[in-house]
A and B are shown apart, each in its own frame.
Chain A
């Protein structure tokens, strides 16, 4: 085995001008009082895709993050989950037509075990197609936990202008989700 390469890739970048097509739009961090939902509204139409990423904690176990778009509470959602719990992989299609499911489960009765989420929302402003999200999510609790790949369909051709993410119980302090926009050519 060759010696390790240690410390040669020092990275002292502290900010500055970026030329990427990936832009921060908004961030919501939940304070000590908790929050029933996190909503990104007035989403600009100047991007091609959106990404929401962050960590979430819930006040009670066994609640999954779910999404509603543009305040649509109708039966216009469909989700498919591929979930691994450390011993088995399972696929499921939750019966949640009024909301899109984003993760198999969300445990976090304390601030000990964050659930990481990376949600890609594709062609969000395209008025010719239904909207698709894909989510990579995971929550490891050192001996238990889940990792999920989820597809979520919103059956509407409307451009997405607002996104609400909730779990049926309050988001707990230290929950942070950030919305980003990805520009096209």
Chain B
């Protein structure tokens, strides 16, 4: 048995940033796991989203399942320019764990599943799950993480892990 779940890179923002990029990602793993705890420094709650390999085309889509304390709902985005992975708050740091499956294969489109919690006590909050599709057979070598035209707050953390199967 081979130990895996290696930390590839991590960072904590010391100032606001609109985008955080993990680049030159090795193809030596099977899956990637992106663990983030982020806050929006802007004026309105938004969504955290990913782009792969700097692809800004309408090659992404996503489906969301969420509960806000009173109701459950589901939404989707079709032919979007990024892959939504979680809600983000302007008042508290919001965790999300994003699994990017079989990221380095060059045969299939890429999918990511994620879970996200937004705890804005007492006025709002939600728990969500997402699935996203990137319609490309390219191996993922870079990930841009953004917050819909606004900035991540200082103190936001981003860690990328690699899992290798044998």
The reply to whether B24 and A11 contact each other, CB–CB distance below 8 Å, is yes
Q: Which chain A positions have C-beta within 8 A of B78?
A: 142-143
Task: With both chains docked as a complex, state the minimum distance between the C-beta of A73 and any C-beta of chain B, in angstroms.
Answer: 28
Q: Which chain A positions have C-beta within 8 A of B75?
A: 84, 86-87
Judge whether A6 is part of the interface by a CB distance below 8 angstroms.
yes
The docked-state distance in angstroms from the alpha carbon of A11 to that of B109 is 23
Q: Which chain B positions have C-beta within 8 A of A83?
A: 65
Partner-contacting stretch, out of A20-28, A62-70, A152-160: A20-28
Partner-contacting stretch, out of A92-100, A114-122, A123-131, A161-169: A114-122
Task: With both chains docked as a complex, state the minimum distance between the C-beta of B128 and any C-beta of chain A, in angstroms.
Answer: 9
User: Count the A-B residue pairs with Cβ separation under 8 angstroms: how many?
Assistant: 229
Size of chain B's interface in residues, with CB distance under 8 A?
71
The reply to whether A84 and B129 contact each other, CB–CB distance below 8 Å, is yes
Partner-contacting stretch, out of B12-20, B86-94, B117-125: B12-20
Judge whether A140 is part of the interface by a CB distance below 8 angstroms.
yes
Task: With both chains docked as a complex, state the minimum distance between the C-beta of A58 and any C-beta of chain B, in angstroms.
Answer: 14
Partner of A112, one of B72, B99, B109: B109
The reply to whether A25 and B113 contact each other, CB–CB distance below 8 Å, is no
The reply to whether B108 and A114 contact each other, CB–CB distance below 8 Å, is yes
Q: Which chain A positions have C-beta within 8 A of B24?
A: 7, 10-12
The docked-state distance in angstroms from the alpha carbon of A55 to that of B112 is 10
The reply to whether A145 and B76 contact each other, CB–CB distance below 8 Å, is yes
Q: Which chain A positions have C-beta within 8 A of B164?
A: 15, 24
Q: Which chain B positions have C-beta within 8 A of A22?
A: 3-5, 163
Q: Which chain A positions have C-beta within 8 A of B4?
A: 18, 20, 22-24, 180
Q: Which chain A positions have C-beta within 8 A of B5?
A: 18, 20, 22
The docked-state distance in angstroms from the alpha carbon of A148 to that of B8 is 28
Known: A20-B6, A82-B65. A15 touches B28 (CB 8 A): yes
- Nearest B residue (CB) for A141: B133
Partner of A89, one of B18, B74, B130: B74
A-B contact pairs, 26 of them (CB 8 A): A2-B151, A4-B19, A4-B20, A5-B13, A8-B21, A9-B9, A9-B11, A16-B6, A18-B2, A18-B6, A20-B5, A22-B4, A44-B1, A53-B31, A53-B163, A84-B75, A87-B74, A117-B113, A136-B99, A138-B131, A142-B61, A143-B76, A143-B78, A145-B76, A147-B65, A147-B129
Interface residues of A (CB under 8 A from B): 1-27, 44, 53-55, 57, 82-89, 91, 111-118, 136-143, 145-149, 174, 176, 178, 180-181
Interface residues of B (CB under 8 A from A): 1-6, 8-11, 13, 15-26, 28, 30-31, 61-67, 72-76, 78-79, 99, 101-102, 105, 107-113, 115, 129-133, 135, 142, 144, 146, 149-151, 158, 160, 162-166
- What 10 pairs across the A-B complex have the smallest Cβ distances? A138-B131, A84-B65, A84-B74, A86-B76, A4-B19, A178-B165, A89-B72, A22-B5, A18-B3, A140-B133
